[in-house]
């Protein structure tokens, strides 16, 4: 590698490390916002979800902190229409408060993030790191980078490594499918019924927590194509790609019904996608059933 290429890689690595540490540090303020900003706002996000004050606050804090990092060129968020820009080479995409409808019943919520080499909308193959935070009984963080997934506990924003190599357990145990049986297609309903007969239901209404069930116990999470909404509910760039990168780095698989979510490139920043994530054999089984 030439000296200048070497320097570029080193700079990029340093930027990625800074993004991870900044998100970890910012979780203390997000936890505060979950406590203080509990009300509804008058606005909706670009995909039409009603925003809570906490969604807006979390987005503002992340934008301010992440865009201030040298090397971060842009900040794209599920909670804002346009990409905010600065100078740099890497691009952050984030769902600042995933599962915020769990705020009222005081259940799990999280932050999902990814760093891309190209400005979104872009392919999942341009991810260099992704991860998520869970604001549960404790605050934890998963980071996928260089083919490896690590888990940390966060205390006052500081990371403590608890698992150096997170992998999807080989024997699947749990499943969680969003959308509701009445809205599923017949093909998905048939395969879902056969999986339901084999595994245990775990569905909490926050993708971060449900995906962490899959990473902990093995199994599958899906938010499928719905009859009334073939594009599904979840957003490719902010939820699909980062989770696919984590699951695939942990030895699992991802699909939009046709192939890996990482191979898909949104034409619009806030595009939705059907999404299937978990143990490889389960994803293959679902893919065979729903293939378009
Ligand atoms: P959000 O990012 O607006 O909070 O929405 C995403 C959430 C996911 O975390 C979760 O899997 C899904 O929406 C739950 O949807 P539903 O309420 O239809 O079960
Ligand atoms: Mg979300």
pLDDT digits 0-9 by tens, 192-223: 999 999 999 999 999 999 999 999 999 999 99
- Tens of pLDDT, residue by residue over 108-153, are 999 999 999 999 999 999 999 999 999 999 999 999 999 999 999 9
Contact (Cβ atoms closer than 8 angstroms) between residue 185 and residue 177 = no
User: Residues 132, 212: one domain?
Assistant: no
Which residue out of 34, 205, 225, 277 has the highest number of ligand 1 atoms within 8 Å of its CB and is therefore the one to mutate?
A: 205
In a domain, 24, yes or no: yes
User: Residues 146, 42: one domain?
Assistant: yes
Residues lying with their CB under 5 A of ligand 2, a single-atom ion: 95, 98
CA neighbor of 175 nearest in space, from 223, 247, 111, 128: 223
Quick check: 3 pLDDT over 70?
A: no
Quick check: 179 pLDDT over 70?
A: yes
**DSSP characters over the chain:** --HHHHHHHHHHHHHHHHHHHHHHHHHHHHHHHHHH--SEEEEE-TTSPEEEHHHHHHHHHHHHHHHTSTEEEEEEETT-SSPEE-SEEEEEEEEEEETGGGTTTT--EEEEEEEESSPSS--GGGEEEEEEEEESSSEEEEEEETTEEEEEEEETTEEEEEESS----SS--EEEE-S-GGGB-HHHHHHHHHHHTTSEE---S-HHHHHHHHHHH-EEEEE--BSS-TT-SSBIIIIIHHHHHHHHHTT-EEESSSS-GGG---SSTT-B--EEEE-HHHHHHHHHHH--
Nearest CA to ligand 1 atom 4: 99
Structural domain containing residue 159: 3-163
Q: Report the domain count for the chain.
A: 2
Q: Is residue 102 in contact with ligand 1, taking CB distance under 6 Å?
A: no
User: Residues 187, 284: one domain?
Assistant: yes
Tell me the C-alpha distance between 238 and 23, whole Å: 15
Quick check: 6 pLDDT over 90?
A: no
267 strand-pairing partners: none
In a domain, 266, yes or no: yes
Ligand closest to 209 (CA) is 1
224 is written with which tokens?
């499928």
- Tens of pLDDT, residue by residue over 52-95, are 999 999 999 999 999 999 999 999 999 999 999 999 999 999 99
Average pLDDT score over residue span 171-193: 97
- Tens of pLDDT, residue by residue over 238-290, are 999 999 999 999 999 999 999 999 999 999 999 999 999 999 999 999 999 99
User: Residues 149, 87: one domain?
Assistant: yes
Nearest CA to ligand 1 atom 11: 207
Angle at 19 between CA 78 and CA 22, to 5 degrees: 95
Measured from the Cα of 179, ligand 1's closest atom is 18
The rounded Å distance from CA 24 to ligand 2 centre is 18
Q: Is residue 59 in contact with ligand 1, taking CB distance under 6 Å?
A: no
In a domain, 58, yes or no: yes
Percent of the chain past pLDDT 90, that is, above it, reads: 92
User: Residues 153, 283: one domain?
Assistant: no
pTM value > 0.85: yes
The 10 Å Cβ neighbour count of residue 28 is 14
User: Residues 7, 83: one domain?
Assistant: yes
CA neighbor of 207 nearest in space, from 183, 231, 172, 240: 240
In a domain, 169, yes or no: no
Q: Is residue 95 in contact with ligand 1, taking CB distance under 6 Å?
A: yes
In a domain, 17, yes or no: yes
Which residue out of 41, 98, 184, 203 has the highest number of ligand 1 atoms within 8 Å of its CB and is therefore the one to mutate?
A: 98
In a domain, 30, yes or no: yes
Q: Please say which residue of 163, 197, 232 terminates a domain.
A: 163
280 is written with which tokens?
């490889």
Q: Is residue 100 in contact with ligand 1, taking CB distance under 6 Å?
A: yes
Q: Please say which residue of 134, 163, 192 terminates a domain.
A: 163
Ligand closest to 242 (CA) is 2
User: Residues 113, 257: one domain?
Assistant: no
User: Residues 15, 120: one domain?
Assistant: yes
User: Residues 130, 32: one domain?
Assistant: yes
Q: How far is CA 102 from CA 52, 105, 190, 224, 239, in A?
A: 11, 6, 29, 20, 17
Nearest CA to ligand 1 atom 18: 179
Q: Average pLDDT over the chain, rounded to whole?
A: 96
Q: Is residue 79 in contact with ligand 1, taking CB distance under 6 Å?
A: no
Nearest CA to ligand 1 atom 15: 205
User: Residues 131, 28: one domain?
Assistant: yes
Q: Please say which residue of 163, 189, 212 terminates a domain.
A: 163
In a domain, 168, yes or no: no
| CATH code of 285's domain | 3.40.190.80
Q: Is residue 207 in contact with ligand 1, taking CB distance under 6 Å?
A: yes
Q: Is residue 49 in contact with ligand 1, taking CB distance under 6 Å?
A: yes
In a domain, 139, yes or no: yes
User: Residues 54, 154: one domain?
Assistant: yes
Quick check: 291 pLDDT over 90?
A: no
Angle at 129 between CA 132 and CA 231, to 5 degrees: 65
Check residue 8 and give its pLDDT. Answer: 75
User: Residues 153, 25: one domain?
Assistant: yes
Query: Nearest 10 degrees: CA dihedral of 123, 60, 99, 52?
Result: -130
| CATH code of 134's domain | 3.30.540.10
């Amino acid at each position: 590698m030439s000296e200048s290429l070497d320097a570029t890689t080193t700079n990029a690595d340093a930027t990625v490390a800074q993004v991870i540490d900044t998100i970890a540090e910012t979780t203390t303020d997000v936890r505060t916002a979950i406590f203080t900003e509990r009300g509804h706002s008058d606005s909706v996000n670009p995909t039409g979800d009603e925003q809570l004050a906490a969604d807006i606050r979390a987005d503002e804090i992340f934008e301010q902190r992440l865009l201030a990092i040298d090397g971060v060129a842009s900040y794209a968020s599920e909670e804002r229409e346009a990409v905010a820009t600065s100078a740099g080479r890497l691009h952050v995409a984030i769902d600042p408060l995933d599962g915020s409808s769990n705020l009222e019943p005081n259940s799990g919520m999280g932050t999902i993030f990814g760093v891309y080499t190209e400005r979104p909308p872009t392919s999942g193959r341009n991810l260099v790191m992704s991860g998520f935070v869970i604001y549960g009984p404790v605050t934890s963080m998963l980071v996928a980078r260089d083919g490896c997934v690590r888990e940390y506990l966060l205390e006052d924003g500081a990371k403590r490594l608890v698992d150096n190599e997170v992998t999807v357990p080989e024997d699947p145990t749990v499943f969680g499918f969003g959308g509701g049986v009445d809205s599923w297609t017949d093909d998905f309903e048939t395969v879902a019924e056969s999986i339901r007969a084999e595994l245990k239901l775990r569905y909490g209404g926050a993708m971060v927590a449900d995906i962490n069930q899959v990473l902990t116990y093995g199994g599958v999470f899906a938010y499928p194509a719905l009859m009334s909404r073939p594009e599904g509910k979840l957003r490719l760039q902010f939820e699909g790609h980062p989770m696919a990168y984590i699951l695939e780095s942990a030895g699992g698989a991802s699909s939009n019904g046709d192939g890996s979510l990482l191979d898909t490139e949104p034409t619009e920043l806030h595009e939705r996608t059907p999404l299937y994530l978990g143990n490889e054999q389960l994803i293959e089984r679902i893919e065979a059933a729903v293939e378009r």
